[in-house]
Chains A and B, each alone.
Chain A
């Protein structure tokens, strides 16, 4: 073997090692995203990427701005999270590469957003300027805008945005007392229909499948209901006068509505100014029960199988979480996962629930059957928890 031969052998060997190294890395990095999610850290402008199979954090991404009242929606392949910040920031996060893919500031004051049925448009709902804006889901380039101008020169804050079939988005106008339905079939020329809803709608939800949109009203006792299969029938009122004319208790935080309040043919809704969860039959929309709870409900969330409904509360009762058994129609457990519980997210099949405690800087994972703690993850003032299973559901 001469010197030249030795060098070429050595080089070949090095190349082989390098290739093996790369291949090994690629193999370890290959994974799906079906068990991933994000935890919003509201005061520090960061999110953690989490893995709910192994109940662990995979890392933190910083620099997302003001994340108080942040919301997230997911690309239909479950790879990207779109995070909507209070300051109008819209950040597209790559959950696999664990980095910011793109980021824009699209408004002065925003509270959330959603993704279209075909996955091509991400739509933000804004307080300032009041209205909705649509962006290309790949590039975040602006596509269209629908200002919530309900009277000449008057713009409303937009709440309760939900994506529905037919490239539709339904949302409520807090200041106008209306529900609007915008059709993005032609993305650059959206068409909007308006419906009178009632005083101060504070949030909304689309039922699973997206047929009905409900808007909770703050300014009066009742819920506005729109049948999106027959919108020409207009909004009807359900749960009318549920407060029975009694004085409202003070509401120190607005309740939230989302599509998972529906369990086993019934909707479980937070009463406003009453320490009750209202139960409505989805076949005839009549109230079929009300369940006394520990405080003003904020999130009322059904476990995916519908057997349990978990409830968290407004200040000052926000250190508690209560569990309702839907068969018994009563609270069966009261948990104390930490101070200032802001959000809960079930794993897609409901065996666990992740609960954020803002003031104890942690996320607690509970076994929903035994209510035993399965894991505790440190997080900085955590608020919203969002798992990629949302990507496959309409109305989120």
Chain B
């Protein structure tokens, strides 16, 4: 019986990690490819294709680690007043912004050969 409770707890934890890590509405592969291109190429025009920073700050995992997820998602969607960072809510949904931030924090996927995802 004790063992069964442990199993249930472990299962619940795994489910929670799964939901929290992947996001409730993970974009489909085609959309993910578009988002990778957008982040690397268009966000990259200020943050660098390698995301090591340019006119805008670096977006590498170590640069974002200490920042809360929610505020990073808010910056993607609404921008940062007084800086050159615009809001991107016209082009990405909240779920997509969450996927982008999560991917950035884990190390963003590369563009494939020739610059295409």
Contacts and interface: CB of A to CB of B under 8 A. Distances in A.
A181 to B, nearest CB: 22
B55 A174 contact: yes
Contacts of B40: 43
A111 B54 contact: yes
Interface residues of A, number: 32
Nearest to B56: A254
A361 B55 contact: no
A127 B54 contact: yes
B115 A157 contact: no
A361 to B, nearest CB: 7
A381 B88 CA distance: 23
B114 A361 contact: yes
A77 B37 CA distance: 39
Nearest to A342: B45
Contacts of A253: 42, 45-46
A381 B115 contact: yes
Contacts of A254: 45-46, 55, 84
Nearest to A157: B55
Given A109-B52, A128-B53, A250 B114 contact: no
Interface residues of B, number: 26
A389 to B, nearest CB: 26
A92 interface: no
Given A254-B55, A359-B37, A66 B48 contact: yes
Contacts of B53: 109, 127-128
A361 B45 contact: no
Contacts of B88: 252
Interface in A308-335: 315-316
B48 A42 contact: no
B21 interface: no
Contacts of B86: 250-252
Contacts of B42: 252-253, 315
B55 to A, nearest CB: 6
Given A43-B41, A202-B55, 6 more contacts: A41-B115, A111-B54, A254-B55, A380-B114, A380-B115, A381-B115
Interface of B: 37, 40-42, 44-46, 48-50, 52-55, 79, 84, 86-88, 90-91, 111, 113-116
20 contacts: A43-B41, A43-B111, A44-B114, A68-B44, A69-B54, A86-B48, A86-B49, A87-B52, A127-B55, A218-B84, A250-B90, A252-B88, A253-B42, A253-B45, A253-B46, A254-B84, A316-B91, A358-B115, A380-B115, A381-B41
